Chains A and B, each alone.
Chain A
């Protein structure tokens, strides 16, 4: 079996698994006042410091959550509520049109139920938001802007946003910027302080840590209304008994991923180049989506005109090659990717796409398996043609 879906989730690092197992064996609620509680609290705070140091944040800026989706929701809704409460005019939520659904659907909900007005910024053909596009959107009515949310690196095509420039533009208008860096941490240099972002989402299972463990980095001077009320943990922004194994596993994985980033990233980039070259040799008319240089090292997002991505996925799966159509799915139904559509790709091509994503365990054999399987799979899928679209 060749696993080429690291952007969906990547294998847990043995060190992280050991750290989680160790923490699961230890007793104590970090909020308890006795010895067991203090030992658990110490684990949490050490994890917080370790994670903060890894991503250029201060320990007090780390809010542990149950993953990327929660962090995105907390940032987007929490910042919106806080800003609107402070100034009722601030109802405009500005996001890129290629965000993950954890951001897009959250802001859609704000529009539907919380009186927000959503502005989706267009992207260029590579999937990047240009700083001048953001500036124009903010300048249109600066007093009504509540927040900006633009992802650090796109999970489908891998394109990287110029986050520092975008944050600087947002700050020209005194508007906070949140960035979903789920795909970036561990794969790219991420320094929260240097980026200028006010809030940043990261999650464990994309970097070798456990599922259901993530964090929102939140600057100390940024107000955020909680989603979860209760015991007041995590600066009163995120109540709930702290998940010690999750935090320990996340911090361990993040620090290893960041420490090994240079070596692993270079190897992954080489493998990806071999994958793209091999696929192109087998299927000369393959189209490579995303930015040619400003992109995640491990993602190859490819379109094969005249096929349906889900047919390709099935055929490759049968050959033991595991990848993704790259787009969000409602109960497994492949939708044409909103990311590709926003990049100006037409629907038929958007449906004809596959995402191969490499990670820390990827090998040359994985790439060879793709290269060997792709030609016959594309030929077959092209024979099957397109069934999901209207015929008249």
Chain B
């Protein structure tokens, strides 16, 4: 096949491209330029957006002896990922930009362009398995990225190749070193790529402007502190609340709800965070739509937060009754449904509650 390997400049995508070459594909490497003003050198633990990263990708492509180009997706990325990120926080939700980037950029704008230009598929270095159209978790549980790929439709998945799913990160690094790829020892990236200093709240404050408001206790109604913008919080968050007064019961407080219109942050004791019913919308099924009600494992955050659940589907709505209650379920995150390690589908969380009392 004629395939396009998206090469971030990191070790994973370099090895993925190498494996695609070994598999006999006609591979062209492409680095996606996602920043409108790329820095010259990499700093911190971002992994894709500097000129140094582009040069690392090119160096790997040259070693693999494949053609290499840079595609300028910065404007699309700004529109579909960065602005969406800001708007979601402004609306009191907690978005996942990596998921959005897969949905709108890598397997949409890039894939569409690739197909139009004569490519059959896009290869990425995501840690996930894709066998006969079925998306599955990586064998490396700690690095598994199936959660941020679960938004992809069968049509998108039919043109995706993830060559790394059967390997651990350690194996990928060792292979990179064996292949003489200079990125073998490059540190992993963790932070959100478009927030250079890793300070999400600072980024949002610059974008949305500081707006002081109250932090209110859910139980007593007492004002426990002030904040500089409700957008800076995530449901379940405990640290960084800077409460000026102790809670009446002396227990630690967690963010229970964000009320952007009133610019209020509601906090409460940990037990009020516990939810066992999660509602979500706009489901995407990776293979085919399942039965109206079924049991599965749901994952509610990119890392962890798993529970067995009974899921009911009603048209565009999905309700998951969790068999074990979870703390800190945030609207805007994805509800991803698994059968074992196979992804069934995903939907966007809109609300969560304890079956006794509503908390979000």
State the A residues within 8 Å of B (CB): 310-311, 313-315, 317-318, 329-334, 380-381, 383-385, 387-392
CA distance A390 to B36 in the complex (A): 12
Contact check, B79 vs A392: say whether CB atoms are below 8 A apart.
yes
Asked if A314 meets B28 with Cβ closer than 8 Å, knowing A380-B118, A383-B116, A391-B79, the reply is yes
Residue of A nearest to B80 (CB): A391
Q: Which residues of B contact A329 (CB under 8 A)?
A: 70
Verify A387–B70 contact, CB threshold 8 A.
no
- B44 nearest CB across to chain A (Å): 19
Bound: A310/B71 CA distance, A: 8
> Judging by beta carbons under 8 Å apart, are A388 and B31 in contact?
no
* Residues 104-131 of chain B, each 1 if its beta carbon lies under 8 Å from chain A, else 0: 0000011011001110000000000000
B73 contacts the other chain (CB 8 A): yes
Which A residues lie within 8 Å of B54 (CB)?
331-332
B75-125 at interface with A (beta carbon < 8 Å): 75-76, 79, 109-110, 112-113, 116-118
Q: Are A330 and B51 in contact (CB under 8 A)?
A: yes
A101 to nearest B CB, angstroms? 15
Say which residue of B33, B55, B69, B76 sits within 8 Å of A391 (CB atoms). Answer: B76
Q: Verify if B191 is at the interface (C-beta below 8 Å from A).
A: no
B67 interfacial contact with A, CB 8 Å: yes
Closest to A376 in B: B118
Query: 10 interchain pairs (CB within 8 A)?
Result: A310-B71, A315-B117, A317-B67, A330-B51, A331-B54, A331-B70, A332-B54, A387-B72, A388-B71, A391-B79
Give every chain B residue within 8 A of A318 (Cβ-Cβ): 28, 67
CA distance A381 to B71 in the complex (A): 14
With both chains docked as a complex, state the minimum distance between the C-beta of A347 and any C-beta of chain B, in angstroms. 11
Report the minimum CB–CB distance from A71 to chain B (whole Å): 24
Taking the closest CB of chain B, its distance from the CB of A316, in whole angstroms, is 11
Nearest-Cβ distance from residue A313 to partner chain B, whole angstroms: 8
Shortest B53–chain A CB gap in Å is 9
B58 at the interface (CB under 8 A from A): yes
Q: Check A310/B72 contact, CB under 8 A, given A317-B67, A331-B51, A391-B79.
A: yes
Q: Is B196 an interface residue (CB 8 A)?
A: no
Asked if A380 and B70 make an inter-chain contact with CB atoms under 8 angstroms apart, the answer reads no
Partner of B109, one of A313, A317, A333, A387: A387
B69 & A314 in contact (Cβ 8 Å cutoff): yes
Given contacts A333-B70, A392-B79, 14 further A-B contacts (CB under 8 A): A314-B69, A315-B117, A331-B38, A332-B33, A332-B69, A333-B38, A384-B117, A385-B113, A387-B72, A387-B76, A387-B110, A388-B76, A390-B75, A391-B76
What residues on A are CB-neighbors of B69 within 8 Å?
310, 313-314, 332
User: Considering residues A318, A380, A388, which has the most beta carbons from chain B within 10 angstroms of its beta carbon?
Assistant: A388
Size of chain B's interface in residues, with CB distance under 8 A?
Answer: 25
Query: CB distance A332 to B70 under 8 Å?
Result: yes
Residue of A with least CB distance to B31: A332
Contacts of B51 in A (CB 8 A): 330-331
Set of chain B residues within 8 Å of A332, measured between Cβ atoms: 31, 33, 54, 58, 69-70
Which single residue of chain B is at the shortest CB-CB distance from A334?
B72
Are A311 and B117 within 8 A (Cβ)?
A: yes
**Among the listed A333, A387, A392, which residue makes an inter-chain contact with B113, where contact means beta carbons less than 8 Å apart?**
A387
A residues less than 8 Å from B75 (CB atoms): 388-390
Q: Of all chain A residues, which has the CB nearest B115?
A: A384
* B117 and A330 contacting across the interface, CB-CB below 8 Å: no
Q: Closest 4 CB pairs between A and B?
A: A384-B116, A332-B70, A331-B51, A388-B72
Closest to A315 in B: B117
B82 to nearest A CB, angstroms?
13
Contact A380–B79 (Cβ < 8 Å): no
Residues of B within 8 A of A311 (CB): 113, 117
Contacts of B118 in A (CB 8 A): 315, 380
Nearest CB in chain B: distance from A9 CB, A: 18
* Most chain A CB inside 10 Å of its own CB: which residue of B33, B71, B79: B71
- Check if B67 sits within 8 Å of A333, measured CB to CB: no
- List the B side residues contacting A333 at CB < 8 Å: 33, 38, 70, 72, 74
Min CB distance A352 to B, Å, is 14
Provided the pairs A380-B116, A387-B73 are in contact, do residues A330 and B38 lie with their beta carbons within 8 angstroms?
A: yes
Return A333 CB to nearest CB of chain B, in Å. Answer: 5
Q: Would A331 and B117 be within 8 Å (CB), given that A317-B67, A387-B73, A387-B109 are in contact?
A: no
In the bound assembly, the distance between CA atoms of A329 and B33 in angstroms comes to 12
A311 to B31, CA, bound (A): 14
Contact B79 A390 (CB under 8 A): yes
CA–CA, A384 to B30, complex, Å?
16
Kindly state the separation between the CA atoms of A294 and B28 in the bound complex, as whole angstroms.
39
- Which residues does chain A contribute within 8 Å of B55, judged by CB atoms? 331
Task: Look across to chain B and name the residue whose beta carbon is closest to the beta carbon of A335.
Answer: B72
Chain B residues contacting A389 (CB-CB under 8 Å) are 75
CB distance from B57 to the nearest CB of A (A): 10
Give B352 Cβ to nearest chain A Cβ, in Å: 32
> Which chain A residues border B33 with CB–CB below 8 Å?
331-333
Tell me, in angstroms, the Cα distance from A329 to B38 when the chains sit together.
13
Bound-state Cα–Cα, A311 to B119, Å: 12
Mask, B25-39, CB within 8 Å of A = 1, is: 000100101000010
Q: How far is the CB of A6 from chain B (nearest CB, A)?
A: 21
Residues in chain A near residue B116, CB distance under 8 A: 380, 383-385
With A and B bound together, what is the CA distance between A330 and B112 in angstroms?
A: 24
A311 to B73, CA, bound (A): 13
Residues from chain A with a CB closer than 8 A to the CB of B76 are: 387-388, 391
Give Cα A392–Cα B116 distance, bound, in whole angstroms.
Answer: 21
**A392 CA to B79 CA, complexed, in Å:** 8
Q: Which of B72, B74, B110, B117 contacts A314 (CB 8 A)?
A: B117
Measured in the bound complex, the distance between the Cα atoms of B37 and A330 in whole Å is 10
Identify the closest chain B residue to A317 (Cβ).
B67
What residues on B are CB-neighbors of A383 within 8 Å?
A: 116-117
Closest to A312 in B: B117
Instruction: List, in ascending order, chain B residues with CB within 8 A of A388's CB.
Output: 71-76
Task: State how many angstroms separate the Cβ of A169 from the closest Cβ of chain B.
Answer: 38
B51 (CB) vs chain A CBs: closest residue:
A331
Q: Which residues of B contact A334 (CB under 8 A)?
A: 70, 72
Chain B residue contacts of A330, Cβ below 8 A: 38, 51
B199-228 at interface with A (beta carbon < 8 Å): none
